[in-house]
Amino acid sequence: MDGINSCEDSEVADLLSSPEGSQNIDIGKQIFCNSAVNMKNIVAVGFDMDYTLAQYKPDTFESLAYDGTVEKLVSNLGYPKELLEWSFDWTYMVRGLVLDKKRGNILKMDRHKYVKVAHHGFRLISKDEKVATYGNTFIKDAFDGPDYAHIDTLFSLAEAYLFAQLVDFKDSNPSKISEAKDYARIYNDVRSAVDMCHRDGTLKEMVARDPKKYINEDNSIVPMLKMLKTSGRAVFIVTNSLWDYTNVVMNFVFGARTMDGSSSLTLDWLQHFDFVITGSAKPGFFHDENRANIFMVETNSGMLINTDNGTPLAQVGGPAVELPDQIPNKKCRVFQGGNVGHLHKLLNVGSSSQVLYVGDHIYGDILRSKKILGWRTMLIVPELEKEVRVLSSSWDTRKKLQLLRVERDQIENQTHHLKWSIEYVFPRAGRMGKVDEKANMNTQVQGARVRAAHQESQRSFHQKFHPVWGQLMKTGYQNSRFAHQVERFACLYTSQVGNLALYSPAKYYRPGEDFMAHESSVISK
């Protein structure tokens, strides 16, 4: 492994010798903390593979998934051939959106599940229509269940975009899609087509042919893993991908690459891990009562060897089973299936709080492992790097917004007071002067001006982040639904997994102080 990513052991030594890790870390590479994590107490660090250790290129990988889904809709599910002429804008959708399958709407909500931005297909829904649809009910909608789909992974962006295209297409061409196919049925067809693409292996085959086209190169992964191993941690992978695809992807992530990005398959990358669990079927994997069998993978052939909690079992009438001797570091073993109980026995941890798991999927990686097991969690949010850079460069804009909001509140309060006085106080006193009416009119005009300026400034600010959906972690002044999930379930979050290499392996990550509304008001004065 001498040539892997030009990694030098001295880099690891430098990090280990620094009590607080590297100083002055770039804002886009920092690790942010919601819940305290003392790395001295972590004895095992685990990783998801897809969109965690392996960062896919959205412009090529998601387009590949999109094209495959469209082809399945046309060839297998009877959709018009003109769909084959469509293209995918990988920049349009963002994570955290909710699809209203019944109405054909795409929603962005705040942490309280109030709809703040809504589109029907690609058409922006007016405020009045939005309130009429989602605000005039006696029972608040939870936006869960069969009528809604959550776009919480980067894998889901292509299907959300295709759903919006099909909603617009159905509205504009009602005769070209069967009346029996309402918006919900269309969404289910899209999901079925996506599943077909994954089942027939088309996507993985294309990635395996040319991984450089679909996966980003990241030279920070090897130093980070070496640092963890050198500091005494057990390091493992739990991925839903099967062994053959895992081996292809990890060879690209870790292997010495030729000019065209090709890399001969070896097992060298396994030296960085103690255990690799493939075909894990997360999030079900995180339930100890899940009775899935665990098999050892014979890495050359891909054959599965039945095991007893990870220990190979001799087959009836067959020779004794030994660990495959072709693995350079025999400490690493590769498995398929099983559940978290098997993993805990393999890791020999004393408690679940000694495990840190790093993944990209709120539900598949983070929520279950944190909520059910009590693992420490780190969420990978690639979009965060741009988000924090824009935020960091927008200090003046944010200050202007705060001042406009204060001015708007003051004028609205003055307007309401004058209106109340004119309607209720002055009539009872037997007097109401023209001066009071004029003051009221002037205040209303001034209020309308400040309100318009505030709304326009706020709109411009959010469009700096994304022209359609605005800031990923906010809707107006509230945390977005996605941000609320990150805050609840991710102890740590950062833009790339390699950012761990920028901090000491003994670092104590501490969250900032929480503020309630009354505290913020006092402190900000």
Is residue 193's pLDDT more than 50?
yes
**pLDDT tens string 356-388:** 999 998 887 787 788 778 899 999 999 999 999
Contacts of residue 113, defined as CB under 8 A and 6 or more positions apart, other chains included, come to: 140, 141, 142, 143, 481
The one catalytic residue in 2, 9, 26, 48 is 48
pLDDT of residue 385: 94
**Identity of the residue numbered 39:** M
Is residue 410's pLDDT more than 80?
no
What percent of the chain has a predicted confidence (pLDDT) above 70?
84
Binding-site residue positions for Mg(2+): 48, 360
197 token code pair: 């693409």
Q: Which CATH class is domain 32-55+215-381?
A: alpha beta
Is residue 354's pLDDT more than 80?
yes
pLDDT of residue 424: 65
**pLDDT tens string 299-321:** 988 888 887 666 666 555 554 44
Is residue 487's pLDDT more than 90?
yes
Phi/psi of residue 474, each to 5°? -140, 155
Residue 168 annotated among the catalytic residues of the structure: no
Is residue 11's pLDDT more than 70?
no
The one catalytic residue in 50, 67, 189, 274 is 50
Is residue 102's pLDDT more than 90?
yes
**pLDDT tens string 419-476:** 776 666 655 554 555 556 666 676 777 767 777 777 777 888 888 899 999 999 999 8
Residue 200 annotated among the catalytic residues of the structure: no
Q: What is the rounded CA–CA span in Å between residue 499 and residue 521?
A: 34
Res. 259 pLDDT band, cuts 50 70 90? very low
250 token code pair: 């990890």
Q: Write down the domain spans for the chain.
A: 32-55+215-381, 58-209, 383-471
Return the bridge partners of 302, or none: none
Q: What integer is the mean pLDDT of 75-89?
A: 96
pLDDT of residue 524: 67
Binding-site residue positions for GMP: 50
**32-33 and 105-109 beta bridge pairing:** unpaired
Question: What is the C-alpha radius of gyration for the chain, rounded to an integer number of angstroms?
Answer: 27
| Total-model pTM | 0.85
Binding-site residue positions: 48, 50, 360
| Per-residue H/E/C for 54-97 | ECECHHHHHHHHHHHHHHHHHHHHCCCHHHHHCCCCCCCCCCCE
